[in-house]
Chains A and B, each alone.
Chain A
Amino acid sequence: GESVGLHLPTLSVQEGDNSIINCAYSNSASDYFIWYKQESGKGPQFIIDIRSNMDKRQGQRVTVLLNKTVKHLSLQIAATQPGDSAVYFCAENDQGGKLIFGQGTELSVKP
């Protein structure tokens, strides 16, 4: 029979606007977090990471914010471009050597 798949959360933004993608993580012992971007038909690609001793880290057009109190992670993309359209995953490392990925958010950029 046909299986029913999950519908990913979707964020739709206008080109040039800022995007904010949110993620809740599960393990309070996790001390390293990563955001990955996955384009259709490709493997996940590293965007930016942050360690638990920080609450903010900036890259080129991207900023990651970490709130350990509520176990929340966000990715901010400035001046979003059509090439930013993809599925974005947060991942946590729980000190056991493994990455645990979130379900993903699909970002759609309207020209």
Chain B
Amino acid sequence: DAGVIQSPRHEVTEMGQEVTLRCKPISGHNSLFWYRQTMMRGLELLIYFNNNVPIDDSGMPEDRFSAKMPNASFSTLKIQPSEPRDSAVYFCASSRGADRLNEQFFGPGTRLTVL
């Protein structure tokens, strides 16, 4: 079992550039979650999808952030334009079914640095 796959693992970019983070959930899982982790704010849910449909995006910080899930095996989180305060580790997680009591499996994360 490959687990949740995220790419890239590290991204360094300059302020104003577009950043795209990618996630492949575990096969057969139909809920997908994007989280951001910083020392100041801890682990925060940004958005989650069920069956490729966004269910709750209230955690998305502002319009510069957008997320898509075009199919069951792929999701992207895009930041445009990026700012230094977006520097964080971004995690993708997936779970089986729509039951909120199902275990979420996390990917290894993408460490984003915006200069």
Contacts and interface: CB of A to CB of B under 8 A. Distances in A.
Interface of B: 4, 38-40, 42-45, 48, 55-56, 59, 91, 93, 100-101, 103-109
A44 B91 contact: yes
B101 A44 contact: no
Interface in A33-49: 34, 36, 41-46, 49
A56 interface: no
B93 A43 contact: yes
A93 B101 contact: yes
A31 B81 CA distance: 38
Given A43-B93, A93-B100, A6 B39 contact: yes
- Chain A at the B interface: SS class: loop
Interface string A80-108: 00000000010001011111111110000
Interface string A1-25: 0011110000000000000000000
Given A43-B107, A97-B56, A104 B42 contact: yes
Contact of A3 (B40, B45, B103): B40
A68 interface: no
